[in-house]
Structure 1
């Protein structure tokens, strides 16, 4: 085979070079040769496991890591590597056991603590996850990933203000990675440039599941804002309440003051759901067809309860509104006609304006003393316009 007389250690070096070059089958063959020469060569088993991981052969990798541990049960790295594969396989209890063993052997290596925290997080053992992330940050205070992960767990525990602290810290350490946009095409980050302050209050109508294309998640998580989310589709309301427990969530379609019924028909189309009256019958058909094709979903018609935006604000005794975000697929003007601007006056309004409706929207907003200050996005069918009082 051309390797006669070569030591197991030299074969390991050659195999490692092949592995780094992506020549995995050749590397695996040399690892096996090294093991034949020295059956107690723990590093060869470990690195063979690494090669199997790169080939996505996780079961084989588990076997090799276990052999490495049998030979050298005092190597934190071998337990860590086995834990990583088990976590990928969803075997979280076993992953936790191995990460814990790695931490016991080498408690001050941040990566071992971090992965143990992630496994606890996936098991929803939030206090244990928090403990691990705090230990990581005591060792490596500028780990943006662990700041972000700690913020996520604190948010789940509804420890809002501390969660915001760590979201901010992660974003400061690595803005490109952790200053996370939830809005469509970064709309929420563009909006945040105009709302550069903490502890604000928002209203978001057309909230969907509370996360997808939301214009307010960023403000809540990174600026400590709170507010009211309004979504008419019942199935989406359930998700919204789960995803945004800090916010009040209302299940209504918003209508003008002169709407005289208790319900309204809506076409479900996930992010593009709309009331029948939002557009002409032909436009509604085109809109639904396009939305179903884009999102690969089926539509249905559902009757939903209605109210005015004014009623919701009165119900919750809202005193101040820093942002009204309005995205209701062509029904925006009618929603605004259900708000008494003498009683409630949002500082900013971000409104999705459909093609051909900009003049009407500007005219209405001017009539209640708002002016357009920015077009934050513009696409074929609509633009997102920011108005200021």
Structure 2
């Protein structure tokens, strides 16, 4: 997409609280039985902010409240997130509760309510216990910051927390971009029950932040799938508070490509962590398509492959059944010349010139037993490339989702 010197970018052991001026907290307020379930991100100064939301027709109440906050002037100073309860499909009461949550946190912080974003994840169709939310907000005021506790507080069926962080050099200033996310099942973005929170101390023009977040989301979070289902609550939110002291970034800034690449790395890291932690998953599947008519068509095919239940079960069974990959490609709406498609797995070519190629079943089986598997599709339609991530489909996935609510 664009070239960036490795000297201008470094991955560090950081988090959503690493950029200057940001902090994060998490507490247990009783929405879950014993685990942390209420988290907050706070910026010491109002931050230019942007968001991308689920495309579901049933957007949850918290999304509508966050949209209301950003409608005023695209600045936020805090985000509050609860797990265990999605506050979705809860009508006027759910919307009232989301606004009340925003107001309660704003009062605690001494800021305007429009500077607060609200986010929820969990079971759909249940009302929030506002008494516990109020207690949790009081606890947030009392405790010390902890990005780990925030990362734990936003989880549902996730088995691990998800974080990443990069530092960049822009205008001779060190700029940090950090991120946290949750997501394990109901993942098929236009986004899925996934939440992503990105913070940076860069100074950036608000329109540029919204445009770049949308663009990067399309090649990261929107390129993962676990089970083909999209949630009511998906959101990726980015906050930029300008504390790094760089000149304001936009598409005309000479270091724009550095920032854009850093944001892409953060989003891709989080997206892959979500796919890897798919409910019951044992294997991260990456599909890369090269030589498609366009990047969009390559992305469509790659996501079709990782989203195929037959491909997912074949990977789970360590079965190099390339016919399932062909079936997934054939079901896409992309331009495909059948006799110009190659399928590669673990360094072996399995299919070429419309016919099977000799390969070692034993080597292929051994490769598929790894925790990460890459499927490469080479086409000859153009210069388009695309990557998508998913996971295998296991018996454990059925077990988890058969009793999710009860």
Bucket of the pairwise TM-score, normalised by the shorter protein: under 0.3
> TM-score, structure 2 length as denominator?
0.26
| Structure showing the higher helix proportion among its residues | 1
The structure showing larger relative contact order (alpha-carbon pairs under 8 Å, at least 6 residues apart) is 2
User: Which is higher, the Rg of structure 1 or of structure 2?
Assistant: 1
> TM-score, structure 1 length as denominator?
0.26
| Structure showing the higher strand proportion among its residues | 2
